[in-house]
Structure 1
Amino acid sequence: MHNPNLTSSLNERDGIAQPDSISKQAIAHVTKLRKNQPSAEELVDGILAGNKTALSRAITLVESTNTAHLEKANTVIAQCLPHANKSVRIGITGVPGVGKSTFIEAFGKHLTGLGKKVAVLAVDPSSSLSHGSILGDKTRMEELVKDENAYIRPSASGDTLGGVARKTREAIILCEACGFDTIIIETVGVGQSETAVHSMVDFFLLLKISGAGDELQGIKRGIMEMADLIVINKADGDNIKKAGLAKTEFNRALHLFPAKQSGWQPKVTTCSSITHEGIAETWQTISEYFTLSKNNGFFNIRRSEQNSYWLTETINEQLKANFYSREDIAKLLEANKKAVQNSELSPFAAAAILLERYFADK
């Protein structure tokens, strides 16, 4: 017979109440900071003084899609521009899993050890479903993020093709104005990112791995022609021999392509981000390229071409943003979408109608 005075093991005893997971003081502090937004002049002063907090807030401002922030962001960019263009810009790409973050951390630590100030602009892919991004590069580069001479800024790629954040170009200018002399751009991976990255950097580094069929995948004209240096990563342990064979294969492939306008012969090297073997040699090779391109004038020619390219890209971007932000266009677009889906109107005719309405009111 059940005795009600006995405590059953199935009964739950009163426990200790869990404390609030978020401090009320912290919430109040963050709310106050958000209300007290710094002016454009304050942000510029902070950036020129080397303040990383001001730099982060300015990048957040230029990345904002809020049209109210556009004028302020343009003011910050304009005032920082005379202090930019004093760095070298290195693009790093490679398939997911090739070890980009680990390589960049080892490479970045080597550069800060040489007295360089390194900014890493890491672009994370955005989900096509939730539109969210993990932005975990600071976690993956736990040593570099603690370095006083390094700055890591993860950004979401959003709906842009090519694995480059919408405002990466502006972020480069802000980082240069903040005193960073080496800018590294890490992309989401090989795909459509090569052209976008290539158009904003001085040196293009392609990371590869051996023993995964990567040698064959790498011998593709587009990516190979863009690469100034191919680095076979994870050349350690049992992979050392495989990495050596991959290096030979890539070297053979590179000689099949025409000479670069810069006069540089692309090279292949191996490295290990774990043991740091080959990291110093990688920087030595990059330094040789900059010496050559600056001496023969190609460095400045390339920067000039990039500025022209980004002028047209910015016009395209702003036209697109303006088009989709108009309420009348949005309503007409929805109506035309339904007509296209029901095969009542061709996509080309629908586009013509929308563009005619857009330009008619200009």
Structure 2
Amino acid sequence: MTSTDPAPLPSEPPTDPLDEAKPDPKAEATAEALAEKLAAGDRRALARGVTLIESTRPDHRRAAAALVRRLHALPRRTLRLGLSGTPGVGKSTFIEAFGLQLAEQGHKLAVLAVDPSSARTGGSILGDKTRMERLSRHPNAFIRPSPSGAALGGVARRTREAILLCEAAGFDLVMVETVGVGQSETMVAEMTDIFLLLMAPAGGDELQGVKRGIMEICDMILVNKADGDLKATAERTRADYASALRLLRGRPQDPNGFPKAAAVSAVSHAGLEAAWTEIAALAEWRRETGVLEARRREQAVAWFRAEVEEALLRRFRRHPAVSELWPRLEKTVASGDTPPQLAAAKALAAFGLGEEER
């Protein structure tokens, strides 16, 4: 080895179950049984499958990996919708009204609702089924709340896999509801086909509350609560957002008029049918022009990168030298005795990364 060669990573047996080369017969059998039931539209199998992929148990992770491999190559015509919005805007009410309308038209809709996890306890309320009681009882609908956990971007750690399971179960629409508006919410665009941003009638300079990042990725802004005394305000807000979208940018790969803003009411159902018509038209245009296929390819690459980064971080934290050093480094950083940058360099050095590799 020359002086310019990178230092080799410490040798250690793989600790992640997905690193194992030999297939696990039990995991393969579990995956095969679940895949068959999913293909038959078994709702209980879908619920069990989502629970399986969210589990961190080593045997469950092996079975989940085997299941994803079986489902990945299946042909899919599912439309993936992302939905985010400011707190109190009425996301659950909108999803129930919008979802019931689509379910009554014969669509099969799966809602993957992500609940924020407590930074202190790690727990989540997971109350989306109670907030969408009518939709949860509809035979054409499936609602699955999941905790966000430590995942960023407003989505759960295994949302991508959950989408695959819903598609395999025969749902032609999958809606991912994120935890709320923020710069990191842009991650939902890496797993959905069309992104909807739900906003309330402005109670001030609301445009300042929406960051440029999320405005640039949304395909439609839906101003909710366009009924009663708020109807005129909602229409003015819609016009403001429409002007803002035109000023921000136009995407050459989309038809004229997109992205656009519309006023809707989850209570009176006003504008919901028109909004769906616009969404369906945009989806069909993207399919016919190849934009949707290109977007799915980009999403697959983003998923690949996320899996690699997650596995590397997990391997890093499990490394014996790092795990032994970590508490002391945190203590010295908290006390101010060690600069954070120096502490990070020490942790990386314990993992085997030299200065030139960082």
Q: Which residue of 1 aligns with 2:177?
A: 186
Query: Pairwise mapping of residues 189-200 of structure 1 onto structure 2 (< 5 A)?
Result: 189-200=180-191
| Partner amino acid, structure 2, of 1:245 | R
Conserved 8 A contact 1:101-1:140: yes
Shift in alpha-carbon separation, 1:160–1:76, aligned structure 2, 3 A: same
Cα distance in structure 2, aligned partners of 1:333 and 1:204: 39
Query: Pairwise mapping of residues 309-320 of structure 1 onto structure 2 (< 5 A)?
Result: 309-320=302-313
Q: 2:93 aligns with which of 102, 115, 123?
A: 102
Query: Are 1:359 and 2:338 an aligned pair?
Result: no
| Partner amino acid, structure 2, of 1:117 | K
| Partner amino acid, structure 1, of 2:188 | V
Deviates more, 1:231-240 or 1:63-72: 63-72
Which secondary structure state, in structure 2, belongs to the residue aligned with residue 255 of structure 1? helix
Q: Which residue of 2 aligns with 1:128?
A: 119
For residues 98-151 of structure 1, give each alpha carbon's deviation from its aligned partner in whole angstroms, at most 9, with x where no partner exists: 000110111111111111110000000001111110000000000110011110
Pairwise CA distance, 1:261 = 4.1
Conserved 8 A contact 1:123-1:163: yes
Conserved 8 A contact 1:91-1:186: yes
Conserved 8 A contact 2:216-2:248: yes
Query: Are 1:139 and 2:130 an aligned pair?
Result: yes
Conserved 8 A contact 2:89-2:200: yes
Q: 1:58 aligns with which of 49, 60, 69?
A: 49
Pairwise CA distance, 1:174 = 0.8
Deviates more, 1:186-195 or 1:154-163: 186-195
Cα distance in structure 2, aligned partners of 1:173 and 1:214: 40
Cα distance in structure 1, aligned partners of 2:158 and 2:92: 21
| Partner amino acid, structure 2, of 1:325 | R
For residues 228-250 of structure 1, give each alpha carbon's deviation from its aligned partner in whole angstroms, at most 9, with x where no partner exists: 11111011110111111111111
Conserved 8 A contact 1:120-1:153: yes
Query: Are 1:290 and 2:270 an aligned pair?
Result: no
Conserved 8 A contact 2:103-2:109: yes
Query: Pairwise mapping of residues 215-230 of structure 1 onto structure 2 (< 5 A)?
Result: 215-217=206-208, 220-230=211-221
Cα distance in structure 2, aligned partners of 1:177 and 1:342: 52
Q: 2:69 aligns with which of 65, 71, 78?
A: 78
For residues 67-122 of structure 1, give each alpha carbon's deviation from its aligned partner in whole angstroms, at most 9, with x where no partner exists: 33221110011111122532010000001100001101111111111111100000
Conserved 8 A contact 2:186-2:213: no
Pairwise CA distance, 1:219 = 5.7
Kindly tell me the number of residue pairs found equivalent between the two proteins.
323
Q: 1:89 aligns with which of 80, 84, 93?
A: 80
Shift in alpha-carbon separation, 1:283–1:295, aligned structure 2, 3 A: same
Which secondary structure state, in structure 2, belongs to the residue aligned with residue 83 of structure 1? coil
Cα distance in structure 2, aligned partners of 1:263 and 1:272: 26
Q: Which residue of 2 aligns with 1:350?
A: 343
Pairwise CA distance, 1:214 = 6.0
| Partner amino acid, structure 1, of 2:238 | K
Cα distance in structure 2, aligned partners of 1:174 and 1:77: 8
Pairwise CA distance, 1:308 = 0.7
Pairwise CA distance, 1:328 = 3.9
Cα distance in structure 1, aligned partners of 2:280 and 2:189: 18
Shift in alpha-carbon separation, 1:316–1:62, aligned structure 2, 3 A: same
Cα distance in structure 1, aligned partners of 2:75 and 2:320: 38
| Partner amino acid, structure 1, of 2:284 | T
Listed as ranges, the gaps of 5+ residues in structure 1 are 1-37
Shift in alpha-carbon separation, 1:158–1:52, aligned structure 2, 3 A: same
Say what the alpha-carbon RMSD is for the aligned residues: 1.7
Deviates more, 1:351-360 or 1:49-58: 351-360
Q: 1:212 aligns with which of 203, 206, 219?
A: 203
Query: Pairwise mapping of residues 228-239 of structure 1 onto structure 2 (< 5 A)?
Result: 228-239=219-230
Pairwise CA distance, 1:348 = 2.0
Identity %: 45
| Partner amino acid, structure 2, of 1:51 | D
Which secondary structure state, in structure 2, belongs to the residue aligned with residue 345 of structure 1? coil
Q: 2:193 aligns with which of 196, 202, 205?
A: 202
TM-score by length of 2: 0.86
Q: 1:281 aligns with which of 274, 285, 305?
A: 274
Which secondary structure state, in structure 2, belongs to the residue aligned with residue 169 of structure 1? helix
Cα distance in structure 2, aligned partners of 1:214 and 1:294: 37
Which secondary structure state, in structure 2, belongs to the residue aligned with residue 288 of structure 1? helix
Which secondary structure state, in structure 2, belongs to the residue aligned with residue 174 of structure 1? helix
Conserved 8 A contact 1:120-1:185: yes
Cα distance in structure 2, aligned partners of 1:92 and 1:292: 20
Cα distance in structure 1, aligned partners of 2:348 and 2:55: 26
Cα distance in structure 2, aligned partners of 1:240 and 1:218: 21
Q: 2:166 aligns with which of 169, 175, 179?
A: 175
TM-score by length of 1: 0.85
Pairwise CA distance, 1:168 = 0.3
Cα distance in structure 1, aligned partners of 2:169 and 2:288: 26
| Partner amino acid, structure 1, of 2:280 | S
Q: 2:40 aligns with which of 49, 60, 82?
A: 49
